[in-house]
Chains A and B, each alone.
Chain A
């Protein structure tokens, strides 16, 4: 209701109407969240439980911890540099490695019937192993710290990318491959201009899964011994001091980051795959 009255005034003409609709849509979607947070605030204040600090307190703690720095650092504090930056750095590195390795191996597998037939059962098996159970193995195999953490993330994030790419590469339209063959595209051109674009819708689907898995594994790998920084480390640290506002701050931050990354990825996907939506619409 508030949204409607807010935007009804300037909503004149086609353009204003569309803009108003967008604003109204966003406000409508945010409304449940606002209501929920308000209720939570009220409930936690009324109960006064130390385990459930009110949202206002969590936000205040988040600001103190991470956004109390000088303007020259975009207000990020030194602590943000010690906990958020290393976590995101490792996650980004691991995600890049997973995508590169996953796409390369996926194409090799998808375009070679025999290799795929041999490795498919093995991969399906490896894929269903819950990645956290392998973290102890990685602790033994790799150096504690960044190396082990990145390996843990890669091992879980690579599967959706690899399997989706293989699936996409295998199901490239035979007519498109025949065209590439008839015009004698080089192997590199075939991959770059035919196989990868044709697999891209599947690759993106894998990427979305890889993204959420890597966020989970990022935190999980930092909860283990041998960690000296990162959000997971901050979490264990706060837990040992029963610092509940900090624990909740990290949780909220992880939620915000997950949402943010997913939104960014979706926006990129919309841009990169606009041909795909168009072609599908034209087909139907």
Chain B
């Protein structure tokens, strides 16, 4: 469905991404994990067609991306600034549905339904700035869900929510993914989360951002927060992803010279493992 080849991006002279190759199949849930500043958000913006890549190309359903493709939704990392403060929560969620040719009542009904799925039906009439950061983040997830895209890009979507809500939202994503057959690309810097959610985990390295490795997740599709996380396979995968994020390579591969020299790689990797607190 999605094919990225030789993608590179530079902001001016600052090279952020280099030689990214990635294929995502129809209905796949791919998680992308990497230290902060490695270009995860930039990668998603290139895929969304919001930023034209300086090298390489992104092909979606056979057509090269030029501008934002149809039926794509983004959950931005900067969720609070992506909500419109002059609209109520419900209208923020309903606004993108205008292009779907639905009547106002229908749009609002769908918005309220999506808000209910993230546990925010009571906040529908409030304004975004009346909500906590975690609630705002859920509104922006609800907005993407109500839009019913075929490809959903999520940029650290659970960074500001509390642990319990986070687990609920992770399960919501899994459920939507299964029920709607949606293709999902989810960026996270939480290693556990990348393994728990993904059909496949893509680990990025930084300076410049590139794919260090990909790892198929060999866990059964039906996952649950307690059982799956205790699974021996989950523990093994988590350790493996953790090593990759830290820059430790598999035994079979030659060591990566740039990483060995990267003095603060260890420090970064440690930071990556800590749950995000914004």
Which A positions have Cβ atoms within 8 angstroms of B? 173, 175-176, 178-179, 181-186, 189, 193-194, 197-198, 200, 275-276, 278-279, 282-283
Contact = CB atoms under 8 A, between A and B. Distances in A.
A183 B129 contact: no
A279 B88 CA distance: 12
Interface of B: 48, 50, 68, 70, 72-74, 76, 78, 81-82, 84-87, 95-96, 98-99, 127, 129-130, 143, 147
Nearest to B72: A182
22 contacts: A175-B76, A175-B78, A175-B81, A178-B82, A179-B74, A179-B76, A179-B82, A179-B84, A182-B74, A183-B99, A183-B147, A185-B96, A185-B98, A186-B99, A189-B95, A193-B87, A197-B87, A275-B85, A275-B127, A278-B85, A278-B127, A278-B129
Contact of A184 (B68, B82, B84, B130): B68
B86 A275 contact: yes
Contact of A197 (B70, B86, B96, B98): B86
A189 B68 contact: no
A282 B76 contact: no
B211 to A, nearest CB: 24
Nearest to B153: A182
Contacts of B76: 175, 178-179, 182
A38 to B, nearest CB: 46
Contacts of A276: 85-86
B125 to A, nearest CB: 13
Contacts of B81: 173, 175-176
A275 B96 CA distance: 20
A89 B143 CA distance: 46
A183 B99 CA distance: 9
B50 A176 contact: no
Contact of B85 (A179, A181, A189, A279): A279
The winner among A176, A184, A200, A279 for most chain B CB atoms within 10 A is: A184
